[in-house]
Amino acid sequence: MVTAAYFRLLLIGVLGLGVYPSLAVERGPTYRGLRAEAQGLTGTASVQGPHALFINPAGLVGGPPLRMETTGYLGINGTLIDYARWGADNYQHLNDMDSLLARIEPVDNKWATFSNAFTLSAQFDDYALSVVEDIRYSVTVGKAVITPVPGVGMLSDFILSFGRGFTDPYYAMRWGLAVKYIYRIRFDRRLVGTTDEEFYRVKREWEKPGTGFWDHIRKLGAASEVAETSQGFGLNAGAVRDLGNDFTVGAAFLDFPTVMNSEWVIPDLNVGVSYHPSIEIMDWRHQFQVNADLHHLLDPDMPWFKQVKFGVAWEGFAGGRPLASLGVGLNDGYPTFGARLGYIFYLSYTYFVEEVGGQPGQTPLSFHKFNAELAF
Amino acid sequence: MNQLHRFMGLAFAASLVLWGCNLFSPLTSDNSKDASYEILLEEGKQAVNKGDYSRAREFFQRAKAKYPAGSEAHLFHAKAIMADYGHDFTSFNNEFNSKKAGQQKGIPFLDSTTTLSGIDSVYFPVYSAVADLEQILRHSKDTLFLSQDKKQFLLPNGDTASDGKVSEGVARLDLGLLQAVKAMLAPLDMDGNGRVDSTCGRNICPTLAPDCLRTDVYKATCKTGPLSEVKRFQTFKQLTQNLDIDNINSNDLEARYVSTNPNDINGFLDAMAGPMAGSNNNLDSVNNALASHNEEKLQSQIGGIVGSIKDLNNFLAYMRHNDSLDNDFDRQSVGPSVKGDIMVWHDYNRDGRIRFDYDRTYEGYPETAGDIGHPLHRYFNPDLYVSHQQFRARYPQLAADSSENSRMELMIRYCRELVSAIPQEGNVTSALLDSLSANTCPEITSVLRPEVRPSPRSDWLSGTFGIDEEMLDRRDNDLDGLRDEDTRNAVGMDDDDDSAIDLEHLGQEIIPMQWKDVSTHVNQCPDIDTTIAMIPGNPRRGCLGSLENRLHLARTASDSLPKLYSPFPDQISDADCLDDIEKLDPEFLAAENYTQIEKNTACTYKHIWIAPRPPHSEWSGGVLGVDEEYLDGVDNDGDGWVDEDVKW
């Protein structure tokens, strides 16, 4: 009963923030993990394991006696590769406007985005701890009106999160809380000009000689030279309830509240439903999931196509350990895909797309993400 | 469970088939009227990437309307419109460079072959892009000053592109470059509609209804009617055809190509001054930023344009007319923005210069040695002049200007030109000329010291030396390196290019010319003989000084011309006079059908009447040529200028 009362109190708090969005600033950390991305960012009702800290802490209930995992992934795409190649050929022209303008066509007005993440997580029964470093860089070279200007952007979150899941037999539901510390390095994506200090710092970085492809990928991180740091604390909370053996519904309140540099972060309310039957075939367990989520319900400006998420997954277990999995989903209207294979050491590939334009299909931003994972 | 398997299989298969597609896009209507700002922005960017700049402009225009604070919409709209007209940094740079280093004279984008539509295709996109970029810089509540004297500014409009997505730094360089072009061409856009078009003032009189064309508002904007911009374009080409932007010289500019009405000069300059000051301000800030970061290579690439703009900006400020201010920094005391007593002087010896003291002679030296500002006068009278060292201390900003066309450089350069024109005869030796060039010119300015007052017998009568000191006469009256700058038009002066004043008037009170139309001769010019009826269809034929009178005499009594009128130098036909003939009423010219010989003969003589005052003339007294004009938009005295020397 006490937990239910707290839960209501938290709900009122969250709705209160939704009513007064002027109190809020930028959206909170966006790390959700590759499994959720493969399944179209769904998982509010079905997530389990340490990643539940970021999606719905109620998923921490019923974890293994001890589980540790570390992952690292790299997200690249065609535009990024084009940029890196262009940079390798043209970085020496940064001081010559005429030459640069003559060569700018392939990259003008196109932003290249690069992402990577590293996680270290541990779960002990209903408790979990996770350290995440999630970085996204953006870069462009384009014409302002008639002269060339660089553009950079960066959002890097270092998150330390700890959470616990609870079982509430009275309401036949599970719920969870996760606290987090966030250290953020951020530079909002923008063009920088010759009277901006950032212009020169970015230019210096770009002008450094580089011999290989990765040298030029590294230069994409020039925004870190000019980014500002902030830090804050926050809370994620969520609840799930089983409806029979194979259905679960869930709701997650993310960043409710989260405070960065004394300013409230816009909270998220996500809800989802999951159908998750499993079957045993010759001692192998096959776990299926069909998920449907609605996200960002507290944000009146969020377009509908960014709210609706679908995901489908299969995962095969041998000896209680996951062996292989496949997932597909629909994020912002785009199909996503993921596959994972291994035993203790896993390799996975995820194809993830999000819409950065104003309407479905306008400006997709896609990533091929390659991941290595060690899980005990 | 089988159904689940089938569903899973179907989902995976669909995912592969639809890879990269968006399933929701069929649910949204393309190009919907209520598309959000973000949608319009993205659509515009995609159109730019496809090279469809016209469509991109439409999207960005809609985005601006949807979200006026959106700086990206403003920036990209500017980019799209410039690209749509095929302009970029390289083409701009080429235009500026082609007019530099003596390759080609004139201003960028304009030469003798340029058409009206051609110049409009430069001006319109530049005008639009400047408006977009200014909106990014403009403040919502505070005025943004573009010049140190705060004369040029951007007013707040409370509705700026202020969302911060595009920094001021991004806008400044491009804005500076575009403002430079806008400044050079802005006088062509007389009605301020952003176009240089064949019909002036459609934004005032959309249908060009005759009643509307007669309104003061229309006439003040399009002074010569619907074709005003066409005419201005033609004279503008003549005005700028000899200008060397790399070596600005006031001798290359003819004020009459600005307008034959000197009172239009400031309006003309104002049209240029705003964007020029903005350009100078923005390019200066970029240049300083580049310099402070040791970006010499980038700095050098815009250095040429920055230098030209700085020079032009300074130069324009020198040229202002009749404002009781020292526009060219040569007044006796400090404070160029402080109004003072206008300098009153008459050119008694008709040499176009200002004699300091007729009682002092310089034996063995040229006559010019007695003129204020002449190198020899500076040499013999150093105590009268401000030294360059004092001048630098007085105007630190000018001292800091190290450009080739800085105010001080212009002064020194012209001083040396004057030295080179001094004949080596009499007491003038080669050593003296070398000394003048090497010492006097760089050490002594042409500016008189504050305590210096006019001699009893001087051209200079009263007022502060350096305030509206120049006549509009194509001569550098004060020998300071600038011609027809800081000109005047006030009571009691011979402000046009000539008058009937001579040395006999020295020491006498100069009485302005008195004349008035009598009731039988209302033709806005002083008739020579009111007992003779006006000629229908040629009412100015009997007017003193009028071109029509000189043409008539050239046809009927050419022998009388030298007795009645003062000849032009060397007794050759004056080109401007011949131009003025072509501007006369076409019906009159067609009816009279003057031969070229008659025109040449008429234009061998100025409008200055040298015979005694005719007994039955409307000229009833005073000195001919002094305050002879009425402020009526008519060239009363026939010198080709309108309202240049009015009776205020």
SS3 string of B620-641?
A: EECECCCCCECCCCCCCCCCCC
Q: How far is A334 from chain B (nearest CA, A)?
A: 5
The pTM of this model reads 0.78
Contacts of B290 in chain A (CB under 8 A): 194
CB–CB contact B129 A145 (8 Å): yes
B19 versus A341: the higher-pLDDT residue is A341
Of B25, B37, B290, the CB nearest to A360: B25
Confidence bin at A307 (pLDDT 50/70/90): very high
Residues of A in contact with B88 (CB under 8 A): 101, 143, 146
CB B357 within 8 A of CB B367: no
- Is residue A12's pLDDT more than 50? no
Q: Is A62 near chain B, with CB under 8 Å? A: no
Closest CA to A254 of A295, A193, A302: A295
Averaged pLDDT for residues A1-8? 48
Q: Give the pLDDT confidence score for residue B570 in this predicted structure.
A: 79
Residue range B477-489: mean pLDDT, rounded = 88
Mutate to test the interface with B, among A98, A141, A146 (most CBs of B within 10 A): A146
- Determine, for residues B21 and A357 on separate chains, whether the beta-carbon distance falls below 8 Å: no
Q: Would you say residue A291 has pLDDT above 60?
A: yes
Q: What is the mean pLDDT of residues A334-344?
A: 93
Q: Please say whether the beta carbons of A312 and A290 come within 8 A.
A: yes
CB distance A363–B79 less than 8 Å? no
Given a cut of 70, whether residue B334 has pLDDT beyond it is no
What pLDDT was estimated at residue B494? 67
Round to whole Å and give the CA distance between B446 and A22: 65
pLDDT digits (tens, 9 = 90+) for B261-285: 787 888 888 888 888 888 888 888 8
CA-based nearest residue to A103, from A138, A142, A139, A77: A142
Question: Which of B89-103, B489-503, B511-525 has the largest mean confidence?
Answer: B511-525
Contacts of B167 in chain A (CB under 8 A): 190-193, 196
Query: What are the CA-CA distances from residue B522 to residues B214, B355, B535, B540, B621 (Å)?
Result: 21, 40, 12, 10, 19
Q: Is the pLDDT of residue B554 over 50?
A: yes
Using CA atoms, how far apart are residues B527 and B556, in angstroms rounded to an integer?
Answer: 18
Task: Answer yes or no: is pLDDT of A3 > 60.
Answer: no
In whole angstroms, what is the distance from residue A93 CA to residue A99 CA? 6
Average pLDDT over residues B387-416: 89
Residue B578 to residues A319, B107, B134, B572, Cα–Cα distance (Å): 108, 26, 44, 11
Tokens at B326, concatenated:
């020292």
Residue window 266-285, chain A: list those with CB within 8 Å of chain B. Answer: 277, 279
With cut-offs at 50, 70 and 90, classify the pLDDT of residue A25.
low
Higher-pLDDT residue of B36, B57: B57
User: Is A208's pLDDT higher than 60?
Assistant: yes
In this predicted structure, the answer to whether residue A290 has a pLDDT above a threshold of 80 is yes
**Whether residue B17 has pLDDT greater than 60:** yes
pLDDT of A16 over the 50 cut: no
A 293-312 residues inside an 8 A Cβ radius of B? 305, 308, 312
B599 with B511: CB under 8 angstroms? no
Tens digit of pLDDT for each residue in A230-262? 899 999 999 999 998 899 999 999 998 899 888
Cβ–Cβ gap B167/A337 under 8 Å: no
pLDDT at residue A326 above 60? yes
Report pLDDT digits (tens) over A135-161.
988 888 888 899 888 888 888 899 999
Checking if the pLDDT of B20 tops 90, the result is no
Q: How many CA atoms lie within 13 A of B431 on its CB side?
A: 1
Q: Do A190 and B167 touch (CB under 8 A)?
A: yes
Are B69 and B162 spatial neighbours (Cβ–Cβ below 8 Å)?
Answer: yes
> Taking residues B101-112, what's their average pLDDT?
74
Residues of A in contact with B14 (CB under 8 A): 328, 335
Average pLDDT on B196-208 reads 93
Name the average pLDDT for chain B. Answer: 87
Residues of chain B in contact with residue A326, where contact means CB-CB under 8 angstroms, are: 12
B32-41 average pLDDT score: 82
β-partners of residue A314 are: A288, A326
The per-residue pLDDT for B491 is 65
According to DSSP H, which parts of chain A are helical?
2-19, 34-38, 52-55, 78-90, 97-103, 197-207, 213-219, 304-307
pLDDT confidence of A313, banded at 50, 70, 90? very high
pLDDT at B266: 83
**Two tokens, residue B104:** 């080609």
Of chain A residues 200-239, which have a CB less than 8 A from chain B? 200
B15, A334: Cβ pair inside 8 Å?
A: no
Alpha carbon of B302: minimum distance to chain A alpha carbons (Å): 10
In this complex, the residue of A145, A196, A336 whose CB is nearest that of residue B78 is A145
The strand ranges marked E within chain A are 24-27, 67-76, 112-124, 127-143, 148-168, 173-191, 228-243, 247-254, 258-260, 263-266, 268-275, 278-281, 284-294, 308-318, 321-331, 334-343, 345-355, 364-375
Q: Tell me what ipTM this predicted complex has.
A: 0.79
| CA-based nearest distance B105→chain A, Å | 24
The SS3 of residue B329 is coil
pLDDT at B626: 87
Question: Could you check whether the bond before residue A277 is cis, i.e. omega within 30 degrees of 0?
Answer: no
pLDDT at position A282, please?
A: 77
Q: Is A109 on the interface with B (CB under 8 A)?
A: yes
What is the pLDDT at residue A106? 82
Quick check: A11 pLDDT over 50? no
Residue A24 confidence (pLDDT): 45
More confident residue, A358 or B217: B217
Assign A212 a pLDDT band (cuts: 50, 70, 90). low
Please tell me the distance from the alpha carbon of residue B626 to that of residue B588, in angstroms, as a whole number.
29
Chain B residue with the nearest C-alpha to that of A331: B22
* Residue numbers in B near A200 (CB within 8 A): 293, 295
pLDDT digits (tens, 9 = 90+) for A88-111: 788 777 778 888 888 888 888 788
Least confident of B29-33, B458-462, B468-472: B29-33
Percent above pLDDT 90 for chain B: 46
Q: Closest Cα partner for B637 from B475, B529, B513?
A: B513
Return the residue matching tokens 């991305």: A37
Residue B30, pLDDT > 60, answer no
For residues B314-334, average pLDDT: 79
Q: Which of A344-348, B194-198, B329-333 has the lowest mean pLDDT?
A: B329-333
